[in-house]
Chains A and B, each alone.
Chain A
Amino acid sequence: MISPYAIEVKQLTHSYFTKKAEMIAIRSITFSVLPGEFLVIVGPSGCGKSTILSLIAGIFPYTSGEILLFGQEVRGPSDKIGYMLQKDGLLDWRTVEGNIHLGLEIQRKNTSADLSYAKDLLRQVGLAQTLKYYPSQLSGGMRQRVALVRTLATKPEILLLDEPFSALDIQHKLHLEELLVRLLTQQKKTAILVTHDLEEAIALGDRIMVMGGQPGEIRQIFDVPETLRNLSPMKTRGHPDFRPLFEKLWREVERP
């Protein structure tokens, strides 16, 4: 049977093991994401947000539960997924060009069409002139934009973004949010984004999942009203429905 969901997470539990102890990072997490939908995860530091993304990306096996991508169980990394980690992880011995080609090289997709697509993305984030620069010559925000391009270059169907805009100034952040939303709606991509920024969560998300506790659990999932959903990220922040939702989210995140 074909699943209607792009991502299904069922009763997901994960523990990190060390010699001394078992550390339960997340417990019984269940949610699903429709194709083309944008889910935002917010929650306090250490509640397991990055862990969830890593498990969906198939970086390491989960302790129990189930994760399905388009109905298929996750057994390891998949070309369908583009994962942008919390740390930008740019390779400092490669130029910007070499860095945005990394995923294409690994997946052996480096045809000239793919390479020029990557270049075009770089132009769209406003960094065309840095093609031959080394990461050490870039600012923190520029590095994150390069990392975003690297993630998008392999044309993944599902994007997992772990605080991608945390090092950006507000101007670049808004600009990149616009770009991201445009790319995602154009190409009908599914996305999960983790952020600490509640404004960003409302501006980008179709739904917002609030997590908390240790081990991490889902507190509540909010639907972003239709009125805000179809607005561009910049306009969302000025809409009358924006504040009430922001305050509801705030209270939920703050709740002990």
Chain B
Amino acid sequence: MKKWLKSAWFEKGAISPAHAHYLRKSRLTQLWVWLLRFGILISLIWLWEWSTDSGILDPFLFSSPSRIWQLTSQLASSGELFHHIWLTSWETIVGFLLGTATGIALATLIWASPFLSQVLDPYLVVLNSMPKVALGPLFIVTMGAGFGSILAMAIAITVIVTTLVIHSSFQGVDASYSILARSFGASHTQIFLKIIFPACIPDMIATLKVNVGLAWVGVIVGEFLVSKAGLGYLIIYGFQVFNLTLVMVSLFIVAIISTVMYQLIAWLEQRLLRYRLVS
């Protein structure tokens, strides 16, 4: 054991005995973190399985890991599952990209015209406080019970808050930057492209992160209301026929895919904001 601790992996890349000691310590901590993470996961799954097996929890209400696994592989092998996953992911991605892009475009528009910004301010405030899912029936009657309504829901839920956040981010850019650009004779457009927009990219990525979550809400609720397919539909269908294993399967898949999307944006953030990480 002692020997193993001193093994190559723990001290790889060390440039001095003290550095080796430091590396060994921090890598050991890291190893414990991972071990405990998996430990917690596995004991939770085991506890769940055991309590539904032994009758403490009712498997009809709480399902169980083995049941969930069975149903997942069954749905996966028939290919049906991927159709639902694909549809919901697609709606979410399109919804949150369109919502964010439209929000940024609107923010740009009202930044360019402070007058317009003042005029529109109360409308934005009202639209922002409005619970967007309450607009569902309106979307359905205007766009039909399908893809259009679901997308509209995802966009509605993201666009206004994006507009407000990005607009205030535009306004928050240090005035001395703009004065500097002005002193070189920069036009309004140049100031926007060279100063304001790049200065706000960190905030835009932050809104992307928030919007992924919001778009999921929009899409799932949209599918509750109208859809004949998708993960939201599986949840509501499973609930209606009281197949709670199906509900659990869908929930797990939603959790996994939304995490993956969030991580993708976190990765994008690292790529784009390298200048913040130096030094």
Chain B 103-130, CB-CB to A under 8 Å as 1, else 0, gives: 0000000000000000000000000000
Structural contact, A91 and B184, CB atoms closer than 8 A = no
B4 within 8 A of A: no
The minimal Cβ–Cβ distance linking B147 to chain A, given in whole angstroms, is: 38
Structural contact, B279 and A102, CB atoms closer than 8 A = no
Structural contact, B278 and A77, CB atoms closer than 8 A = no
The minimal Cβ–Cβ distance linking B254 to chain A, given in whole angstroms, is: 35
Chain B 163-187, CB-CB to A under 8 Å as 1, else 0, gives: 0000000000010110111111110
**CA–CA, A91 to B186, complex, Å?**
15
Structural contact, A59 and B183, CB atoms closer than 8 A = yes
Identify whether the interface residues of A are mostly helix, strand, loop, or mixed: loop
Structural contact, B183 and A102, CB atoms closer than 8 A = no
Q: Which of A36-72 contact B (CB under 8 A)?
A: 54, 57-59
B57 within 8 A of A: no
In the complex with contacts A93-B199, A136-B279, A105-B183 CB distance below 8 A: no
**CA–CA, A79 to B184, complex, Å?**
7
Determine, out of A9-17, A82-90, A183-191, the stretch whose residues face the partner at the interface: A82-90
Identify whether the interface residues of B are mostly helix, strand, loop, or mixed: helix
For residue B206, which residues in chain A have a CB less than 8 angstroms away from its CB? none
A-B interface pairs (CB < 8 A), number: 66
From B186, B275, B278, A106 is in contact (CB under 8 Å) with: B186
For residue A136, which residues in chain B have a CB less than 8 angstroms away from its CB? 275-276, 278-279
A81 within 8 A of B: yes
B266 within 8 A of A: no
A137 within 8 A of B: yes
12 new A-B pairs (CB below 8 Å) besides A134-B278, A134-B279? A58-B183, A77-B183, A77-B185, A81-B183, A85-B176, A87-B174, A92-B275, A92-B276, A93-B201, A95-B275, A102-B180, A136-B279
